[in-house]
Amino acid sequence: MATLGLLGAVLVGCGGGGTETPAPKATAGGGAAASRSPSPKASAAAAGPKPARVPAAPPTMAPGPGGLTPVYKHRAKGTEKVVALTFDADMTADQGPRAAQGERFDNPELIATLRRLKVDATVFMTGRWAEEYPDQARSIGGDPRFEIANHSYSHYAFASPCYGLPTVPGPDMAADVQRAFDAFRDAGAVNVVPYFRFPGGCYDDAALRSLGPAGVTAVQWDVVSGDAFAEDADAVAEQVLDGVRPGSLVVMHCTRSAAPATERAIRRIVPELRARGYRFVKVSELMSR
Instruction: Tell me the whole-structure pTM to 2 decimals.
Output: 0.82
Residue 212's pLDDT band (cuts 50, 70, 90) = very high
- CA separation for the pair 187, 251 (Å, rounded): 24
Query: What is the torsion angle, in degrees rounded to the nearest 10, for the CA atoms of residue 72, residue 255, residue 224 and residue 41?
Result: -100
pLDDT tens digits for range 140-159: 999 999 999 999 999 999 99
**CATH numbers and ranges of domains, the chain:** 81-287 (3.20.20.370)
189-209 burial, b at 16+ Cβ within 10 Å, e below that, comes to: bebbbbbbbbbbbbbbbbbbb
Q: Write out pLDDT tens, residues 66-102.
A: 889 999 987 666 678 999 999 999 999 899 999 999 9
pLDDT computed for residue 11 by the predictor: 58
- pLDDT tens for each residue of 1-54: 333 344 454 554 465 443 333 333 333 223 323 333 333 333 333 333 333 333
90's CB contacts (< 8 A; 6+ apart) are 7, 10, 11, 14, 105, 126, 129, 151, 155, 199, 253, 255, 258
Report cis status (omega within 30 of 0) of the bond before 161: yes
Distance CA 124, CA 148 (A): 6
Q: What is the pLDDT of residues 228-264, one digit of tens each?
A: 999 999 999 999 999 999 999 999 999 999 999 999 9
- Residue 27's Cβ-side half-sphere holds a number of Cα atoms within 13 Å equal to 12
Do residues 206 and 70 lie in contact, with contact meaning Cβ atoms separated by under 8 Å?
no
- The number of angstroms, rounded, from the C-alpha of 202 to the middle of its chain's C-alpha atoms is 11
Q: Would you give the end-to-end CA distance of the chain in angstroms? A: 41
Give the pLDDT of residue 21: 31
